[in-house]
Chain A
């Protein structure tokens, strides 16, 4: 059974960089699109971006200038960095696995989510 677990600081000061890591267990990191999605408190879901196991990335244009997603295949981890954060970046951040082999497109495994609060 594939499991994903987010880790990282839960409190980040404005203008600093948010850093999260997702550890994948129970399966290989190969052949999937590893994705970050966030959800501000009481609001809907926002796709942040993905990294393919070979290192290819795709980011939401609304965040592109501030986002970096990287992968460490040797440790079955992928990471998110979001720079110059503001209170608007306060959210639960989810890591998830995306299957994207036509006709199957979906997010099948999710981490439990981690709340990151931006505040001084």
Chain B
């Protein structure tokens, strides 16, 4: 199975900060990577698919980049509603695998 290593596992940031989360795949996955946001007690929500495509309705402060094995989710200016846990998901090969998650907390 393809292992997805996400970092950091948690971070503290302030409203307005630029936040970067990375995900590394154990093998090349082309650009078949998505990012999901999960708030406590809720189902994950799709933010970005195929590395850099913003899902409809998702604010433009979210962006994704990368290819091959290294990927990044960037939040350009953190908003109060962005405090949540973020997961990457490789969609390249089965079994599909998620990163371990990054919890974004208020500083």
Binding site for B on A (CB under 8 A): 44-47, 58, 60-62, 94, 96, 100, 103-108, 110-113
Chain B interface bracket (under 10, 10 to 19, 20 to 34, 35 or more): 20 to 34
Complex Cα spacing A99 to B44, Å: 15
Which residues of the other chain, A, contact B49 by a CB distance below 8 angstroms?
Answer: 104-106
Cross-interface CB contact of B44 among A60, A62, A104, A107, cutoff 8 Å: A107
User: Which residues from A are CB-within-8-Å of B43?
Assistant: 94, 96, 110-113
Q: A103-B50, A105-B50, A107-B36 are in contact. List 9 more A-B contacts (CB 8 A).
A: A45-B98, A47-B96, A61-B95, A94-B43, A100-B91, A104-B53, A105-B34, A107-B46, A113-B43
Cβ of A104 to closest chain B Cβ, rounded Å: 6
What residues on B are CB-neighbors of A61 within 8 Å? 1, 95
**Top 5 A-B pairs ranked by shortest CB distance?**
A110-B43, A105-B91, A106-B49, A47-B96, A60-B95
Q: A44-B101, A106-B34 are in contact. Are A62 and B95 (CB under 8 A)?
A: yes
